[in-house]
Structure 1
Amino acid sequence: MFIKDEVKYRYNYHISPKQGWLNDPNGLCWFKGKYHVFFQSNPFANQPGKSYWGHVSSENLLDWQEEDFALRPDQDYDCDGCYSGSAIELNDKLFLMYTGHQNLSDSYKESQCLAFSEDGINFQKVSNNPVIENPPEDNTNRFRDPKIWKNEKNIYAVIGGESKENRGQVNLYRMGETFDNWQYQRKLAIAQKKDGIMWECPDYFEIEGDTFLIVSPKGMQDAGINGFASVYLQGDFGFNQTLEGYELNLIDLGQDFYAPQTFWDPIEKRRIMFAWFGMPGLQEQELKKQVGALTLPRVVKNKNGKLLFAPLPELQQLRTDEKALLPFDTIEDYSEIRMTPLNRHSNFLLRITSKIEGSSYQISYQDQKIEISFFDSLRNVRQSQKIDKVSELRLFLDSGLTELFINDGQHTFTNKCELIGTLVIEISGQLQVKAYTLRKGIQ
Structure 2
Amino acid sequence: MTSLLEQAEQTLEKAQSGINPRWYPRYHLAARAGWMNDPNGLVWFDGWYHAFYQHHPYSIKWGPMHWGHARSKDLVHWEHLPVALAPEGPADKDGCFSGSAVVDGDTLALIYTGHKFHGSVDTDDNLYQVQCLATSRDGIHFERHGMVIDTPPGLHHFRDPKVWREGEYWYMVVGSRVENTGQVRLYRSTDLREWHDEGILAEAEDDMGYMWECPDFFTLGGKRVLMFSPQGLAAEGYKNRNLFQSGYLLGEWQSGQPFSHDGQFIEMDNGHDFYAPQSFLSPDGRRIVIGWLDMWESPLPEQQDGWAGMLSLPRELSLGDNNCVLIKPAAEVTALRGNYYPAPAHNLNNQKIFVASDADAVEVLLTWERNASTAEQYGIALGEGLSIYVDNQAQRLVVDRRYPEFSLEGTRSIALPADSTLSLRIFIDRSSVEVFVNEGEACLSSRIYPQPGQRDLILFANHGTATLKDAGYWSLNK
* CA distance 1:323–1:229, change in 2 (3 Å): same
Question: What's 1:400 paired with?
Answer: 431
Distance in 2 between the 1:183 and 1:421 partners? 56
Between stretches 233-242 and 403-412, larger displacement belongs to: 233-242
Question: What's 1:297 paired with?
Answer: 314
Distance in 2 between the 1:179 and 1:271 partners? 23
Distance in 2 between the 1:189 and 1:426 partners? 46
Give 1:424 deviation, angstroms. Answer: 1.8
Secondary structure, aligned partner of 2:83 = coil
Match status 1:330 vs 2:356: yes
Aligned pairs for 1:44-59 within 5 A: 44-59=58-73
Between stretches 419-428 and 55-64, larger displacement belongs to: 419-428
Aligned pairs for 1:13-24 within 5 A: 13-24=27-38
Amino acid at match of 1:151: E
* CA distance 1:343–1:321, change in 2 (3 Å): same
Match status 1:380 vs 2:409: yes
Percent sequence identity is 32
Q: Identify which of 108, 116, 119 aligns with 2:138.
A: 119
Question: What's 2:114 paired with?
Answer: 100
Amino acid at match of 1:277: L
Distance in 2 between the 1:205 and 1:225 partners? 26
* CA distance 1:296–1:221, change in 2 (3 Å): same
Amino acid at match of 2:251: G
Number of residue pairs matched?
Answer: 430
* CA distance 1:421–1:300, change in 2 (3 Å): farther
* CA distance 1:245–1:360, change in 2 (3 Å): closer
- CA RMSD between the two structures: 2.0
Give 1:240 deviation, angstroms. Answer: 2.3
Give 1:182 deviation, angstroms. Answer: 0.6
Distance in 2 between the 1:144 and 1:285 partners? 29
Question: What's 2:6 paired with?
Answer: none
Q: Deviations over 1:143-181 (max 9, x none)?
A: 0000000111211100000123x10000000114x4331
Match status 1:163 vs 2:163: no
Give unmatched runs, 5+ long, in structure 1: none
Amino acid at match of 2:257: N
* CA distance 1:225–1:77, change in 2 (3 Å): farther
Aligned pairs for 1:60-209 within 5 A: 60-104=74-118, 105=120, 106=123, 107-126=126-145, 129-135=146-152, 137=153, 140-164=155-179, 166-176=180-190, 178-209=191-222
Question: What's 2:290 paired with?
Answer: 274
Contact 1:299 1:311 survives alignment (8 Å): yes
Contact 1:256 1:279 survives alignment (8 Å): yes
Amino acid at match of 1:366: N
* CA distance 1:242–1:152, change in 2 (3 Å): closer
Distance in 2 between the 1:333 and 1:284 partners? 18
Q: Deviations over 1:254-279 (max 9, x none)?
A: 1100000000112x221000000011
Distance in 2 between the 1:385 and 1:424 partners? 25
Match status 1:434 vs 2:464: no
Give 1:18 deviation, angstroms. Answer: 1.4
Give 1:210 deviation, angstroms. Answer: 0.6
Aligned pairs for 1:247-396 within 5 A: 247-266=264-283, 268-283=284-299, 287-289=303-305, 290-304=307-321, 305-326=323-344, 327-331=353-357, 332-342=359-369, 346=373, 349-354=378-383, 359-366=385-392, 368-376=395-403, 377=405, 378-387=407-416, 388-389=418-419, 390-396=421-427
Amino acid at match of 2:475: T
Contact 1:361 1:417 survives alignment (8 Å): no
Contact 1:112 1:130 survives alignment (8 Å): yes
* CA distance 1:32–1:365, change in 2 (3 Å): same
Distance in 1 between the 2:46 and 2:342 partners? 41
